[in-house]
Structure 1
Amino acid sequence: MKPRSCSKQPAASVILAVLLTTTSTEGAANMGLKKETWVPLCNLAKELGEVTSEAATEQKRILKLALDFRKEALQLEVYSRLAPTAAVAEKSIVLATYVASMADIALAKLQTVDSDNFLAAVAATSYAKGAIDEFITVAAQTKESDVHGCLHGGDGNPHNFEGKTIHGTDCRTGVPKTTGDGRTKKTITAGGIAGTQAGLDNSNSLQSANKNCRLFAKSNADGLGKAGDVDAAKLHYAAGYIEIDTGSNDGKVNLLNLNRPTLTDRTEATAWQAVITTVGALPKISDEDYTNTSDKLESTERAAKTIARIIKNVDDGTIANSKAAITNLFGATSKDTVDKLLSDAANYKLKDKIAGTDKETALNAMSTGQLEAILATLNIALIKDKEKLKQELTDAKQNKETKSAEDQEKECNKAGDNKGECDKLKGQGCIFKEDGETNKKCTLNKEAKQALEKANQETGGKDKKTDSKCTGKEQKDCKSPDCKWEGETCKDSSILLNKQFALMASAFVSFVAL
């Protein structure tokens, strides 16, 4: 029989071996991050940096859109002054007003709301990127030969930067660029951030099994302390994404789940909530206030409000109460009419040199400054023409209103033999004669008669000799086309046409004076 002590020796050796094995593989105490844990941070830092150029580019696109609207409106305004017909001119100026309003709406939205939204996203993502950059830089620099370090490669060894890469992975740090096309991958949305690891390390799921990282430990032996443990109950890195509970003293990382719209379970991670909120709310040129709706006038409330002000003189225009006015002007489907107006205006070439711009220059080849100068020149010409026309019509009206001596005599005769009524007409040159003709004792006095005859001679009135073919004709002989019976006399048709023109011109002056 073997000694009892000899029979126990192998069993003790086995137990010791098991204990040693368990100690060396339990969890990931104070160990560095596996490659699949830190690589998503490099990718996220890249995307965070690209938000700056995305915001800058989109803001420039929106600003250009508004400026294009304004230039398009100017082209239409100029074209309305030079259009071939009044109908085309009316459509052009109404459309110009609406297109200009689209520019105003876009600029107002950008200035009052969206510029702040762009800036907020840039601020939040820049801060978060800086936090990741700092952690990655420090963690990479902890490499101690192939023994210890915080960032491990696929080979299980710690790695530092080699240029802009870490173990073959692009991991660029630094200030975000303002130029570029924005994000190549969009893992950040209003719903959260996809692609990053989450949760507490469990059996080396996130951390290495045997490469120490002093950033994750609290003691002076293998962590951040000098003479003992650090006071902090928890350590945080990457803006709170990485957390280590020092109370457990195992150095296990607990990674925040970023793939959620709301992060309320880690107060140290407010920066990530800001990233999700602001990037999710980044303005886009496709947003409603930046949409070009000029080809849908018959179904756009904004168009109804603007056009109703012009056509209906109301400030509460809607599709419900203004669609008829819109379709009367632009048709049941406005797109064809609008597209033609825009094309005709853009391609219109000046017939003469205006405001320093040579003839045959197309409107779409002009700068905004040129268009504004041409429009101002045309407006000045219109103002001068209007004043000239008003004066001509005033002069013509005065000439027409100068009564002939014959007509004034008839006005006096209307008072008949009534002295009281005749006296009321004294200001018109009427005088009562007791010995006058029956029913015509109220007659035009000599001085007034001579004055009227002289005035008519000077102004070309009725008392001036003319080649009239109609004066004196009986009603039965007063026939068109040269003559027309009016009242009790036969008159030249040309006189009546001139009178009609004067009325039309007067109506025009009343319109342009509005």
Structure 2
Amino acid sequence: VLTALAITTATGTEEAIKYTLWSRQCKLAKTLKRTSEAAAAQLESARENIRKLSESAKKLEIYVLAKPSSTGAGAATALTFAASLEAAAQKQRLNRITDKAIKAVGYGHAAAAFITGFYQLLASNGNAGTAYCLANNLDSNNGAGDLATLGCSATDESDFTSGPGPDADELTDKGFASQSEITTGDGKGPANKCGFLKRTASPQNSAGFYNSRPENDIGLAHGLIQLAADNDPTAPALTELSTKGADGKLSFWYKTHSAVKAANDETTITIDDDEQKRLKDLATGAQIEEALKIVLAGKNNTKPEDLKGKIEDAKVAYFGKNNDKIDSLWADLKATKVIETGAGTDKTTNLGEITDEAELQKILAYYTAQTQETFKMITKKITKLETELADQKGKSPEAECNKITEEPKCSEDKICSWHKEVKNGEKNCKFNSTKAKEKGVTVTQTQTGGTETTTDKCKDKKKDDCKSPDCKWEGETCKDSSILATKKFALSVVSAAFVSLLL
């Protein structure tokens, strides 16, 4: 009988898993589930950055279309392009972090599930404290009540909201800092509590795990728990995983660490919420030089690579030495009145107050279409003006005289004279303003940029006698004020045409 009791005592240890082992693996599960929180934060930040940049680009573009002749229009055009370039860069970044996030969340939650599932199974193997497989922090009682708090819990909606992500102290360059190796004997908790972790040579007719498992067998919790003997759980080190890519037992944890670390290493970039500061950041950002080169090349009708001068000088000219010109640009932009697309073109609102992206897009489309239509109209006006000027030139006295090819007929005309010796390409019959004046004929002679009459009463006057309202001294001659007015009018017509084109 004593021998039988001795045998029972020797073989019936049935230790629970020590708190040190299982608690830290549940904490690892908690760390790995945070990959989705980090992914949510990164993706949300990237999307918000793109939204902010898109908002700024649209407002700047609307401002240029609505007020093309404003002092800040050139700077606004450059900033529009810089914002668009930065938005494109942020979209590329979003694609990159999305790929990394998908991989990290997939591996992270799969790994957490391996750990959680195993320990939830062990937690269910108890009977009111007499039997349990997970020891508490004193290794004196059932610790299963701490399972969820430590991290071994089912995935929840809260795991997919923005959060801080894995702890940097836990997630190192090579592995998981807290997951050092636990060797034989160090994973045993209180005895006579859990008969689950047994080994047997004949699992087909005896309780327990097969004691002759192949060397490359992964083991429990996807390799995190091995049985050195009955009720003797051990754990491999996860602190150095950089060389475990081809390890049959730990390659999954190598891939998990690599994916989680790659996603976690992505730097968070935040575009300023303050729109005025945002414009200043764009003026000093990575995209502004390319933006200025493109804008200046277009303005000068040349290639960006052919631009001369320093780009820093252009920055100062557009934005000021300390970006102080952006202050006035923003003040003008936010006070610019633009249409309310849902209320008709007679109602306006301040551009700076609009935050709805769809409304900004509608307003931009409206002013773009308006500019295109105005361009068509002004093109027609300019074409008509050019035709009229050409017609006037064709009907000028000089042109009329040039049409006469016979000397007698030319000499008989009251405003023409025949020239026997002329340069190659010139006409013999030419307009003679003196003859026309003597004959009392008042005609208009078309000149470049305006007209002058042969009865100009001011042309022979000296400077002191050249007085308003009929005459005005210009350069070295006295000219008829009506001629100057005609020239100014012609220039104003052309100028107005181009200004209205931009408006």
TM-score range, shorter chain: 0.7 to 0.9
1:76 matched residue in structure 2: 60
Q: What letter is aligned with 1:337?
A: K
Q: What letter is aligned with 2:163?
A: G
* Separation of aligned partners in 2, 1:240 and 1:211: 25
Aligned pairs for 1:132-211 within 5 A: 132-143=115-126, 149-154=132-137, 156-157=139-140, 159=142, 161-162=144-145, 165-166=146-147, 170-177=150-157, 178-183=159-164, 186=167, 187-192=169-174, 194=176, 196-201=178-183, 204-208=185-189, 210-211=191-192
Structure 1 29/287 Cα, relative in aligned 2: closer, same or farther at 3 Å?
same
Q: CA deviation at 1:429?
A: 1.8
Q: Is the 8 A contact 1:75 1:364 kept in 2?
A: no
Q: Which moved more, 1:31-40 or 1:189-198?
A: 189-198
Query: Aligned-residue CA RMSD in angstroms?
Result: 4.7
2:403 matched residue in structure 1: 429
The one of 329, 337, 342 aligned to 1:350: 337
Q: CA deviation at 1:69?
A: 1.0
Q: Which moved more, 1:285-294 or 1:298-307?
A: 285-294
Structure 1: gaps (5+ residues): 1-15, 413-427
Q: CA deviation at 1:227?
A: 9.2
Q: What letter is aligned with 2:93?
A: K
Q: CA deviation at 1:471?
A: 4.2
The one of 428, 453, 474 aligned to 2:460: 474
Q: What letter is aligned with 1:201?
A: T
Q: Is the 8 A contact 1:40 1:197 kept in 2?
A: yes
* Separation of aligned partners in 1, 2:367 and 2:380: 20
Structure 2: gaps (5+ residues): 412-416, 421-427, 437-441
Structure 1 485/157 Cα, relative in aligned 2: closer, same or farther at 3 Å?
closer
* Separation of aligned partners in 2, 1:222 and 1:151: 24
Q: Deviations over 1:313-348 (max 9, x none)?
A: 545699x963332222112333x4345534543x32
Aligned pairs for 1:407-446 within 5 A: 407-408=397-398, 412=401, 429-434=403-408, 437=411, 439-440=418-419, 442-443=428-429
Q: Is the 8 A contact 2:197 2:209 kept in 1?
A: no
1:47 matched residue in structure 2: 31
* Separation of aligned partners in 2, 1:224 and 1:70: 69
Whether 1:130 and 2:98 are equivalent positions in the alignment is: no
* Separation of aligned partners in 2, 1:148 and 1:127: 29
The one of 41, 48, 53 aligned to 1:64: 48
* Separation of aligned partners in 2, 1:277 and 1:128: 13
Q: Is the 8 A contact 1:351 1:360 kept in 2?
A: yes
Whether 1:304 and 2:289 are equivalent positions in the alignment is: yes
Q: Is the 8 A contact 1:72 1:96 kept in 2?
A: yes
Q: CA deviation at 1:75?
A: 1.1
Structure 1 508/232 Cα, relative in aligned 2: closer, same or farther at 3 Å?
farther
2:373 matched residue in structure 1: 384
Aligned pairs for 1:26-41 within 5 A: 31-41=15-25
Aligned pairs for 1:96-135 within 5 A: 96-111=80-95, 113-135=96-118
Q: Deviations over 1:71-120 (max 9, x none)?
A: 12111111223348532122112212211221121112212x22111101
Q: Is the 8 A contact 1:297 1:326 kept in 2?
A: no
Q: What letter is aligned with 1:312?
A: A
> What count of residue pairs does the alignment treat as equivalent?
455
Q: Deviations over 1:438-483 (max 9, x none)?
A: 74474379xxx9xxx9999xxxx969xx9x9944642537836554
* Separation of aligned partners in 2, 1:330 and 1:499: 37
Q: Is the 8 A contact 1:70 1:103 kept in 2?
A: yes
Q: Is the 8 A contact 2:21 2:182 kept in 1?
A: no
Q: Deviations over 1:251-305 (max 9, x none)?
A: 5333222233625285322232223222222268854697998535565442211
Structure 1 332/370 Cα, relative in aligned 2: closer, same or farther at 3 Å?
same
* TM-score normalized with structure 2 length: 0.73
Q: Which moved more, 1:117-126 or 1:204-213?
A: 204-213
Structure 1 398/276 Cα, relative in aligned 2: closer, same or farther at 3 Å?
same
Q: CA deviation at 1:231?
A: 3.9
1:403 matched residue in structure 2: 393
Identity score, percent? 18
* Separation of aligned partners in 2, 1:316 and 1:149: 76
Q: Which moved more, 1:68-77 or 1:122-131?
A: 68-77
- Bigger relative contact order, structure 1 or 2, given CA contacts below 8 A and separation 6+? 2
Q: Is the 8 A contact 1:349 1:363 kept in 2?
A: yes
Q: CA deviation at 1:307?
A: 1.9
* Separation of aligned partners in 1, 2:475 and 2:284: 54
* TM-score normalized with structure 1 length: 0.71
Q: Is the 8 A contact 2:17 2:134 kept in 1?
A: yes
1:258 matched residue in structure 2: 238
* Separation of aligned partners in 2, 1:488 and 1:183: 79
Q: Is the 8 A contact 2:404 2:410 kept in 1?
A: no
